[in-house]
Amino acid sequence: MKLNEIRTFVTVAEAQSVQEAGNRLGLTQSAVSRLIQRLEAELGVTLFDRQTKPLALTRDGEVALAHARRILGAATDFSDAFAGSAEPKGLLRLGVAHVLTALAAGCPLDDLRAGFPGLTVRIHSDWSAPLIEQLRAGALDGAVVLLGEGQTPPDDLPSRLLSREEVSVVASAERAAAGPGSLAAMNAVGWVLQPDGCKYRNALGLALAPLGLRPNVTVEAYDQTLLASLVARGVGFGLAPMRLIAPVEAAAPLQPVDLPGFNLTVTVWLVRARVVGRIGPVFDRLEDSLGRHLTARTAGLHSAAE
């Protein structure tokens, strides 16, 4: 059976007249009759008592009418779900690089929830490279990732550069006041970093290699607030892009330390799946919100590494 047969049946039932139904549908009376006859043949029932005026439904016709209205309603919902003007609804699977989780899950998440009340946002945190692979595999709809200076997302994925951030050595106020010292001296104190896979940790290893040293990591953890609190307590030095760091409540202030010869810049990207369909406006709003909140960032510290 076809939707035009079902739609014609509902129109005839509501108009109680084949002629009036034809007027409403822009069809001839004979065309309406043929569509009803085809539907009756497919269902194997008689839908109308043709001996009555106005036209009346049979018992089978009354049952069919309820189902037909549900079918047409579902078809309309299906069409509206992909209409350009339809409000994005359903699940948004958003990947976020570890160091950016606090940023994305703050005001930008609130902005999405306020702007798209029918949307459910599921945030998945991981390293940037696996997030991009999950995007390409269709497991994510979009991702906010961190790349090294000069790196870009794959050409086959739509992406926008949100910001460039310089990574600083950070320390407790007491250690910062004592002066930076040398990289070797800092390494002797130790570092509070994320596990292997962290871009900052990799850069630190490259900087230490000419000295014949490897990073002396005293504590490693994924939890950004924990890392920040450990650096604030003087457990070791950390690495962080200052604008990506959110304030940590009740924590001692962290200070950037100028370390000659150590230069590291990272870039923040919003990357989308190849096809985003009706949730495209969600990414437009997310891009705007992330940009505004990156610009408004203060120098408080929330994490020590990506």
- For the chain, which domains are there? 3-81 (1.10.10.10), 88-306 (3.40.190.290)
Shortest CA distance to 197 belongs to which of 168, 217, 171?
217
pLDDT at 274 over 90: no
pLDDT at 292 over 90: no
Across 109-113, 182-186, 297-301, least confident range:
297-301
Q: Are 154 and 132 in contact, with CB atoms under 8 Å apart?
A: yes
Confidence of residue 245 (pLDDT cuts 50, 70, 90): low
pLDDT tens readout for residues 79-131: 766 655 567 878 899 999 988 888 888 889 999 999 999 889 999 999 999 99
Question: What's the gap between Cα 245 and its chain centre?
Answer: 21
Confidence of residue 294 (pLDDT cuts 50, 70, 90): confident
Confidence of residue 21 (pLDDT cuts 50, 70, 90): very high
Residue 19 has a pLDDT of 93
User: What percent of the chain shows pLDDT beyond 90?
Assistant: 47
Q: Are 123 and 103 in contact, with CB atoms under 8 Å apart?
A: no
| Residue 20, SS3 per DSSP | helix
Residue 191 has a pLDDT of 94
User: What percent of the chain shows pLDDT beyond 70?
Assistant: 90
Euclidean distance between CA atoms 91 and 74, whole angstroms = 20
- Mean pLDDT value across residues 145-154: 90
Residue 159 has a pLDDT of 93
Residue 86 has a pLDDT of 62
**Is this prediction's pTM over 0.85?**
no
pLDDT at 38 over 80: yes
A 10 A CB-CB count for 69 gives 14
Across 104-113, 162-171, 297-306, least confident range:
297-306
- Mean pLDDT value across residues 213-223: 90
Is pLDDT larger for residue 81 or for residue 39?
39
